[in-house]
Amino acid sequence: MRGRRWLLAFAVLVGAAVTLAAPAQNPGRFQVRNAYVELANGAWLLDVSLDLGLADAARRAFEEGVPLVLRLEIEASVDRRLLPAEEVVSLTRDWQVAYDAIADRFVVTDDASGAHVSHATQAEALEALSRISGIVIADTAVLPEGRRFDVRVRATVEVGELPAAVRMLLFWRDWSRSTEWYAWKVRP
């Protein structure tokens, strides 16, 4: 009986220590909620909806003024007979969201076009960032209409714009977070 008490006390202590020692993490959900492509005017357009939950570290960094980068990786491949599928599309698009203290606004910038949109709140900025639409991934010369192909996307959020020395010294920190690949088949 006495032994069990000691065992229980030890377990409580270990649990408390682990709880205190473990970093407080509330990463939220970060996933590709939905994605699809559609053909419009001879081009395949991609729409992606994300659950953009940030890890605590990334969120704190963002609130302190550290910009975040959202990277979207898009790949498309077509099946071949007796051969592995051929990857015909592989592209990456980046968006950056940063807080402007002078304007007191959150600015989302499309790195590909340079266009940026400011938002009054962080939530609005992240909400805008989580809905990406109309990205041209290929034209029908690459992905002919009527041909069956596979598409997959993956999003990554990184804490960017850090000094190089800091990035080197804090190499073990979780500065980056990626979703699983979201894949689907496009049938004619």
Partner 1 sequence: MMRRWLPFVFGAGFLIWVAALVMLAMTAEGPQRFGELYLLILLVNVTGVIALLVLIGGRLADFVRDWRRHVPGSRLRGRTLLMFGGLAIAPLLLVFTFSIMFLTRGIDSWFHAEVRQGLTDALGLSRAALDMRMREYLERTVRIAGRLEGLSQGSLYFALDDELHAAGAEEFVVTSAGGQPIAFSRAGLLHALPAVPPEDLLMQLRRGQPHVSLQPAPGGGYQVRAAATIRAGPGESTRLLVAIYPVPQRLSDLAATVQTAYQQYGQLSYLREPLKATFVLTLSLVLLMALLAAVYGALYFSERLVRPVQDLIAGTRAVAKGDFDTRLLRASHDEIGFLVTSFNDMTKKLARAREETERSRAAVEAERAALAVILARLTSGVISLEPDLRVRVANQAAGSILGADFTGSAGRPLAEIAAGEPILAELHAVMQRHFEAGETEWREQVTLRTDSGRRELVVACTALPGDAGTQGLVLVFDEVTQLLQAQRQAAWGEVARRLAHEIRNPLTPIQLSAERMRRKLMRGLAASEAELLDRSTQTIVQQVEAMKQMVAAFSEYARAPDMHVSEFDLGALVRQVSDLYHAQDSRVAFGLSLDPKAALLEADPGRIRQLLNNLLTNSLEALDGTPNPVIMIETKRVGDLVALTVVDNGPGFQGGLLEQAFDPYVTSKPKGTGLGLAIVRRIVEEHGGQVEVDNAPQGGARVRITLPATAREARRAEARREKA
Candidate residues 82, 165, 187, 188; the one interacting with partner 1 per rule CB under 8 A: 165
Question: Cα 19 to chain center, whole Å?
Answer: 28
45 or 162: whose CB is closer to partner 1?
A: 162
152's enclosing H/E stretch is strand 149-159
DSSP 113: T
Cα–Cα distance between 143 and 188 in angstroms, integer?
A: 11
77 or 109: whose CB is closer to partner 1?
A: 109
CB of 131 to partner 1, least distance (A): 14
105 or 152: whose CB is closer to partner 1?
A: 105
11 or 170: whose CB is closer to partner 1?
A: 170
Cα–Cα distance between 49 and 162 in angstroms, integer?
A: 27
Question: Do 47 and 77 touch, CB atoms closer than 8 A?
Answer: no
CA dihedral 178→179→180→185, nearest 10 degrees, is -120
Site string for partner 1, 6-45 (x = CB under 8 A): ----------------------------------------
Residues of the shown chain interacting with partner 1 in the complex, contacts defined by CB under 8 A? 60-61, 64-66, 98-105, 107, 114-120, 124, 158, 160-171, 173, 175-176
